[in-house]
Homo-oligomer: A and B are copies of this chain.
Amino acid sequence: MLLSKSCVYGLRASLYLAARNQGEFIPIRTMSDKLEISFHFLTKILQQLTAEGILESFKGPNGGVRLTREGTEIQLIDIVLAIDGPQLLTECALGLPGCGVKNPCPLHDKWAETRDAIHEMLEKTTLTELVHKGKLENLRLTTEGGFDILFDN
């Protein structure tokens, strides 16, 4: 699996927040219901994003979480790094420690190229870009639900 489940949930939640970003705090419970993710599990994931400064949170009634920056300024890579860390973009494909230009494994060059392609995709894609596309074409953010059902309350 390319991304951990935590990371995937973090991405879906971030898209949700970017999609309805009017500056207000959204309760995690609302998101966990809409996105069909366990509330407590999602809470832990969003805590990581908050710790990394991608989200900010507010406790108490009318509390919740929101993006600290505009969706145009948040790249997928920000969320992936916050949750899964840099391993995907740094690790050797054959699992050898310290694999790099100086001390490569036989697969290093080819894997470095492929890895760069992944990196570039994650780095060039913003939340807003995906939200725009998702809204236009009513794409899915959950097994059944298109973007539209995420805004009906």
| Residues of A that sit less than 8 Å from B by CB | 1-3, 5, 8, 11-12, 15, 76, 87-88, 91, 93-97, 99, 103-108, 110-111, 113-114, 117-118, 121, 125, 130-131, 133-134, 139-143, 147
- Sample of 9 further A-B pairs with CB below 8 A, known A104-B140, A114-B118: A2-B91, A11-B94, A12-B95, A96-B143, A99-B140, A105-B140, A106-B140, A114-B117, A118-B118
**In the assembly, what is the distance between CA of A101 and CA of B2, in Å?**
20
Question: Oligomeric state, in number of copies?
Answer: 2
Query: What is the minimal beta-carbon distance from A109 to any residue of chain B, in angstroms?
Result: 8
In the assembled complex, the Cα of A1 lies from the Cα of B105 at a distance in Å of: 17
Q: How long is the Cα–Cα vector from A143 to B87 in the complex, in angstroms?
A: 17
| CB-based nearest B residue for A136 | B106
Q: What B residues does A87 contact at CB under 8 A?
A: 1
**Sample of 22 A–B contacts (CB below 8 Å):** A1-B1, A1-B87, A2-B2, A3-B93, A8-B95, A11-B107, A12-B94, A96-B140, A96-B143, A99-B140, A103-B140, A104-B140, A105-B141, A106-B131, A106-B139, A106-B140, A106-B141, A107-B125, A108-B139, A110-B121, A110-B125, A117-B117
List, in ascending order, chain B residues with CB within 8 A of A121's CB: 110-111, 113-114
Once A106-B131, A114-B117, A125-B107 are accepted as A-B contacts, the answer to whether A8 and B141 lie under 8 Å apart by CB is no
Residues of B within 8 A of A118 (CB): 114, 117-118
